[in-house]
């Protein structure tokens, strides 16, 4: 397995929401684990063959998680009177069903439980995300076509 295959596997695991992937070949073993923490890679290949190539990509995963956590903490501190609608999965956030269609939910719109508010695409599946709260949307926290993490804030809703 070459470095490009390993990098593609890491990207796949981070996007898919899978907690662990293990691959074993004749003289090579790799395990990638995630759980809202940086990706961990363990190998049984001699260290000089893999370490110089794998280590540079590992720090790239960590700042993304830290940034999401900091954004979440800042939003909660500033807007404690609002309900935060969070992403139920990892994927790509879309505000409408296609580029030429209107957004499901805009700032100022009233929402109720069961109303579709966005779509999150994960592994070529488009999942309609329905509201679990009623209220008025105060702020959209994610740009259209942006990647989102599990439990990342998407909308701020003023309860009614």
pLDDT digits (tens, 9 = 90+) for 58-78: 444 433 433 444 444 554 455
CA distance 107 to 19: 34
Q: Do the beta carbons of residue 45 and residue 28 sit within 8 Å?
A: yes
Q: Among the residues of 2-90, which ranges form H helices?
A: 3-16, 47-54, 58-78
Sorted by sequence, the CB contacts under 8 Å of residue 103 that are 6+ apart come out as 95, 96
Q: Regarding predicted confidence, which is higher, 157 or 50? A: 157
Read off the pLDDT of each residue in 37-42 and give the average, rounded to a whole number: 48
For position 60, what pLDDT does the model report? 41
- DSSP H or E run through 101: none
For position 50, what pLDDT does the model report? 46
pTM of the model: 0.51
For position 79, what pLDDT does the model report? 60
Phi/psi at 90 (nearest 5 deg)? -90, 140
CATH of domain 83-159: 2.40.50.100
Q: Do the beta carbons of residue 156 and residue 124 sit within 8 Å?
A: no
Q: Regarding predicted confidence, which is higher, 80 or 153? A: 153
For position 51, what pLDDT does the model report? 44
Domain with CATH 2.40.50.100 in the chain: 83-159
């Amino acid at each position: 397995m070459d470095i490009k295959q390993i990098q593609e596997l890491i990207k796949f695991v981070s996007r898919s929401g899978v907690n662990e992937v293990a691959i074993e070949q004749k003289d090579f073993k790799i395990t990638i684990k995630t759980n809202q923490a940086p990706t961990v890679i363990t190998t049984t290949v001699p260290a000089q063959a893999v370490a110089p190539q794998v280590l540079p990509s590992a720090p790239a995963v960590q700042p993304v998680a830290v940034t999401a956590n900091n954004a979440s903490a800042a939003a909660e501190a500033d807007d404690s009177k609002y309900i935060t609608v969070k992403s139920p999965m990892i994927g790509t956030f879309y505000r409408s069903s296609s580029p030429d269609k209107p957004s499901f939910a805009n700032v100022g719109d009233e929402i109720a439980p069961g109303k579709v508010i966005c779509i999150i695409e994960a592994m070529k599946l488009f999942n309609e995300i329905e509201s679990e709260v009623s209220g008025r949307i105060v702020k959209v926290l994610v740009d259209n076509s942006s990647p989102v993490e599990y439990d990342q804030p998407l909308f701020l809703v003023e309860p009614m």
